[in-house]
């Protein structure tokens, strides 16, 4: 049975790695790894293959950046050619990025069964591009592997029959637990001159936070206040870097003496950075789950989350407005 596994962007890598490894243990399976190239920088892609000991992709589509329509279309056009020549028995997609949805639609139209790993997550916010990707991918998939009970409920509510839903657990967390010890050996804490629990970590990349100048300014205003009390390490996503420069805010960020803006980090380095942090500020979905397992407090800079268990059972608080008003409130008090 030939199975095509799709990866495309940074948050896909840690989900695909354990799947490829598990499939390789079964002689009757022939796993093929395809990288769409949605993320292509060394630091957004290659380093993850090295850190996670993932095999080189069998096929690289090299689609790169573009508008949502362009990126989705490019993946579909290239992936269709691969499916026609490779004729797999199944396609496995993970997560909620544009490549996930594009490959699922392409496969199902060629009558190739699709499995979606991390199905059923819903933020109920259709302004989020990932929410559209989740809804579309789940609606065309044949096998839906879920990570939480709420995901099962969401799928059932959308009319997906029980027999398509497999409550399988969280492969991203499998990867974390597997690499936890190895990550301890990373020298990132020393390299950045940090002390255990003496710093916070910040990640930001969602269009809702970084694309609009006003919102981004409010976030930086709050960060300005927080970094007066604790050092903040900010591994900056390429789209955030582009936006911060475009908004003319980069010089301001550089002036914040206790905010360390660094390049995107590898998987093991970032895992170590989270493990030793006092708290994490983020708008990422995956980091909410990772901090929950690591038992590190996480403030999610969004108005909603598709991962409610990280709030009810984990360490996450989703408080966008409170966070944004923090800077202003502090300033009003002359702090
Ligand atoms: C994508 C996913 C998002 C995921 C995130 C993690 C979608 C809709 N979004 O968002 O779910 O949480 O990845 O990183 O699929 N860029 C580079 N180098 C790269 C990759 C991107 O410079 O290696 C820049 C490009 O200028 C691009 C921008 O970042 O325009 C955005 O990249 P894109 O892949 O469109 O989406 P992300 O915002 O990274």
Q: Which fold has domain 184-332?
A: Rossmann fold (3.40.50)
Sheet holding 279-282, edge to edge: 259-262, 231-235, 199-203, 279-282, 298-300, 316-318
pTM of the model: 0.94
Among protein residues, the one whose CA lies closest to atom 15 of ligand 1 = 97
Digit-coded pLDDT (tens) for 68-91: 999 999 999 999 999 999 999 999
CB 318 within 8 A of CB 311: yes
Among protein residues, the one whose CA lies closest to atom 26 of ligand 1 = 239
Q: How far apart are CA 223 and CA 243, in angstroms?
A: 17
Digit-coded pLDDT (tens) for 280-318: 999 999 999 999 999 999 999 999 999 999 999 899 998
Per-position pLDDT tens, the chain of length 335:
999 999 999 999 999 999 999 999 999 999 999 999 999 999 999 999 999 999 999 999 999 999 999 999 999 999 999 999 999 999 999 999 999 999 999 999 999 999 999 999 999 999 999 999 999 999 999 999 999 999 999 999 999 999 999 999 999 999 999 999 999 999 999 999 999 999 999 999 999 999 999 999 999 999 999 999 999 999 999 999 999 999 999 888 888 999 999 999 999 999 999 999 999 999 999 999 999 999 999 999 999 999 999 999 899 998 787 777 765 554 554 43
Distances from the Cα of 173 to the Cα of 138, 147, 168, 258, 282, angstroms: 21, 10, 12, 31, 18
Ligand 1 pocket: which residues have CB below 6 Å? 9-11, 38-41, 44-45, 65, 71, 96-98, 129-130, 205, 237-239, 242
Domain with CATH 3.40.50.2000 in the chain: 2-179, 184-332
CATH superfamily of 2-179: Glycogen Phosphorylase B; (3.40.50.2000)
* Residue 202 tokens, joined: 């910040």
CB 127 within 8 A of CB 108: no
- Which of 130, 238, 243, 289 has most ligand 1 atoms within 8 Å of CB, for mutation? 238
CB 271 within 8 A of CB 293: no
Residue of 39, 179, 205, 237 with catalytic role: 205
The CA 49 to ligand 1 mean position distance, Å, reads 17
């Amino acid at each position: 049975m030939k199975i095509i596994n799709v990866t495309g962007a940074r948050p896909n890598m840690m989900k695909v790695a354990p799947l490829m490894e598990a499939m390789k243990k079964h002689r009757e399976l022939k796993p093929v790894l395809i990288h769409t190239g949605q993320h292509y920088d060394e630091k957004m892609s290659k380093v993850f293959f090295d850190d996670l000991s993932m095999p080189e992709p069998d096929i690289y589509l090299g689609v790169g950046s573009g508008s949502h329509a362009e990126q989705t279309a490019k993946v579909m056009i290239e992936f269709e050619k691969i499916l026609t020549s490779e004729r797999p028995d199944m396609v496995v997609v993970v997560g909620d990025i544009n490549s996930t949805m594009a490959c699922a639609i392409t496969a199902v139209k060629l009558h190739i069964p699709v499995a979606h790993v991390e199905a059923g997550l819903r933020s109920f916010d259709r302004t989020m591009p990932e929410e559209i990707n989740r809804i579309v991918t789940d609606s065309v998939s044949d096998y839906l592997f879920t990570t939480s009970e709420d995901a099962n409920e969401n799928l059932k509510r959308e009319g997906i029959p029980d027999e398509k839903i497999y409550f399988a657990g969280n492969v991203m967390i499998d990867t974390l637990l597997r690499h936890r010890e190895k990550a301890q050996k990373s020298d990132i804490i020393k390299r950045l001159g940090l002390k255990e629990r003496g710093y916070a970590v910040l990640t930001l990349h969602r269009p809702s936070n970084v694309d609009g100048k006003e919102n981004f300014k409010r976030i930086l205003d709050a960060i300005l206040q927080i970094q007066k009390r604790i050092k903040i390490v900010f591994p900056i996503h390429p789209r955030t870097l582009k936006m911060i420069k475009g908004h003319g805010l980069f010089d301001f960020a550089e002036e914040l003496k206790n905010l360390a803006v660094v390049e995107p980090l590898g998987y093991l380095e970032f895992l170590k950075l989270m493990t030793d942090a006092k708290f994490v500020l983020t708008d990422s979905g995956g980091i909410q789950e990772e901090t929950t397992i690591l038992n590190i407090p996480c403030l999610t800079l969004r108005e909603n989350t598709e991962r409610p268990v990280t709030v009810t059972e984990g360490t996450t608080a989703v408080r966008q407005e409170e966070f944004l008003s923090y800077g202003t409130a502090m300033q009003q008090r002359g702090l």
